[in-house]
Structure 1
Amino acid sequence: MDEQTLHDVYLRAWALIVRESAPELVMTSYNRVQGEWAFAHPKFINLLRNQLGFDGSIMTDWFASWEGITSGRILFDSGASSPFFFTAPGFMSSNSLYAAGVDMEMPFCSKNRDAVSEAQLCSDAQDSCETKQYLDAAVTRILRSKSRYGLFGQSSNLSRTTWDNEKFD
């Protein structure tokens, strides 16, 4: 897909969504756009945040950061009846996700993932000011969303938006 089609067709719809409904959270998708995985590519996240003005949180879809999805391979635990219990590491770096602008990685059932991810992030944050900045930005956006919805004990300052079909027909 060329840049003009991306902007005139696809981003136009996203611009309408961001402008008219002010979503608090966007979930990325598994698909490729212009040959790049959309779920964690800085280009697409920057378009959403900077060009379209989205200021909410961005999270991956379930399993999106697992390399088995992006490489087309599936690993099975020999004792599991489904591919949802992975025993081998094979995940995209959490630091890469945060560097791309993702705020939250959706969890899933893995015997190794949570420990690997937490240890990796702690190590990266100790070694890199850049990683600390990525994490600070992600946490700030998530906490801002929680505050907007009154999830810290205070009342919400948001009013419910309703869709006006006639406005967009």
Structure 2
Amino acid sequence: MDIKKLINEMTLEEKASLCSGKNLWATKEIERFGIPSITFANGPYGLSKRNCDSYAPVPATCFPTPTALAATWDINLAYSVGKAIGEECLAENVNILFGPAVNIQRSPLSGRNFQYFSEDPVLSGEMGAAFINGIQSEGIGACVKYYIGNNQESHRQNINNIIDEQTLNEIYLSNFERVIKKSNPFAVMVAYNKINGIPCTENDYLLIDILRNRWNFNGLVLSDLYAINSIINSLQAGLDLEFPNSLNNTKQIIEAVLSGTLDSSILDNAIEDILNTISKVIKPVKECECNIYDKEKHNDLAREVAEDSIVLLKNKRNLLPLKKIG
């Protein structure tokens, strides 16, 4: 795929359409250029692919949650779990997994703490990087989320997190930096919330100054579902792809380029990131359409994680090791 040539030949309407998903789980295709649609699926602790006909999830291994996995302090185990989930993605023709989530467990009341590894940025970053390396060893893209500060469920879509620069860098960015530099995920999902008054999806300091320039991330930057407030502001701030789909925002992109409000080079940069990502992930899936995985082996791995995640705070009355009965 000659991406530069494709971009030069695409119409403005085609470019604008690519900046929005086809539905909740896929990108749009452009048939005249042979640009395929790629499929996403949830998966912090196992593949969660939805059947489009019934919306029921396809069968997959349910691994212990990332919090349990992090309690093992075993990056090799995290890699193995990521690799196993990558194998299941191949079997189900999923191109990119929405995961892992490496946010800080900021509050015990957060509804997504089970998705996160830890309250510690170093542990979260190390486990997340190993997990991503495992997924991507199978040719499947990992989409690390939620960048950044998605630390509570209540008012998740509009809360403004006030975070000073030192705390931002030492806690909330540190885990993501470790993941980006140690595993180079194919994609980053941007959070709903605001940081110091600016939505993450429109925050050029977070998306350009830090993610792109400081950490040299060169992958796809996409929104959480329905997280876009202004598609023009988001594109200008460094976002590439809106999820899921929005015909209205596609029209806004076209109008903004024609009026000069949005520089066409910004749109071209977003399309280049999208096409680069598609070219990375589409080949392995096409080569492995009939791929199967060892379900029993994956169940054994899930059991191993569960066993190793058990943490004994105090061995009162010599509870461990457990004695066999009979």
TM-score, length-scaled by structure 1: 0.65
The aligned length equals 124
2:274 equivalent among 132, 142, 152: 142
AA of the residue aligned to 1:2: D
Q: Please give the per-residue CA displacement for 1:5-24, whole angstroms capped at 9, x wherever unaligned.
A: 11112221111100111111
1:95–1:131: 8 Å Cα contact kept in structure 2? no
Q: Is 2:181 the counterpart of 1:23?
A: no
Q: Is 2:232 the counterpart of 1:95?
A: yes
Runs of 4+ with deviation above 3 angstroms: 150-155
Give matches, 1:36-115, under 5 Å.
Answer: 36-46=198-208, 47-65=210-228, 92-108=229-245, 113-114=246-247
Task: Please report how far the alpha carbon of residue 101 of structure 1 lies from its aligned counterpart in structure 2 after TM superposition.
Answer: 0.7
Give % identity. 27
1:132 equivalent among 235, 245, 264: 264
SS, match of residue 8 in structure 1: helix
CA distance 1:140–1:149, shift in 2 (3 Å):
same
AA of the residue aligned to 2:239: V
AA of the residue aligned to 1:136: D
Task: Please report how far the alpha carbon of residue 63 of structure 1 lies from its aligned counterpart in structure 2 after TM superposition.
Answer: 1.2
Give the aligned partner of residue 175 of structure 2.
13
Name the CA distance, whole Å, in 2 between partners of 1:150 and 1:107.
20
AA of the residue aligned to 1:139: I
Name the CA distance, whole Å, in 2 between partners of 1:52 and 1:137.
18
AA of the residue aligned to 2:268: D
SS, match of residue 235 in structure 2: helix
2:250 equivalent among 95, 107, 118: 118
Structure 1, 92-101 or 22-31: larger mean CA deviation: 92-101
CA distance 1:132–1:151, shift in 2 (3 Å):
farther
Task: Please report how far the alpha carbon of residue 40 of structure 1 lies from its aligned counterpart in structure 2 after TM superposition.
Answer: 2.2
SS, match of residue 135 in structure 1: helix
Give the aligned partner of residue 83 of structure 2.
none
Larger RCO of the pair (alpha carbons < 8 Å, separation 6+): 2
1:29–1:60: 8 Å Cα contact kept in structure 2? yes
Pick the structure with greater CA Rg: 2
Task: Please report how far the alpha carbon of residue 36 of structure 1 lies from its aligned counterpart in structure 2 after TM superposition.
Answer: 2.2
CA distance 1:121–1:17, shift in 2 (3 Å):
same
1:146–1:152: 8 Å Cα contact kept in structure 2? no
Q: Please give the per-residue CA displacement for 1:83-135, whole angstroms capped at 9, x wherever unaligned.
A: xxxxxxxxx33211111111001025xxxx41x22222112222228431111
Question: Where do 5+ consecutive residues of structure 2 fail to align?
Answer: 1-162, 288-326
CA distance 1:93–1:131, shift in 2 (3 Å):
farther
Name the CA distance, whole Å, in 1 between partners of 2:215 and 2:230.
27
Task: Please report how far the alpha carbon of residue 151 of structure 1 lies from its aligned counterpart in structure 2 after TM superposition.
Answer: 4.4
CA distance 1:6–1:140, shift in 2 (3 Å):
same
2:203–2:237: 8 Å Cα contact kept in structure 1? yes
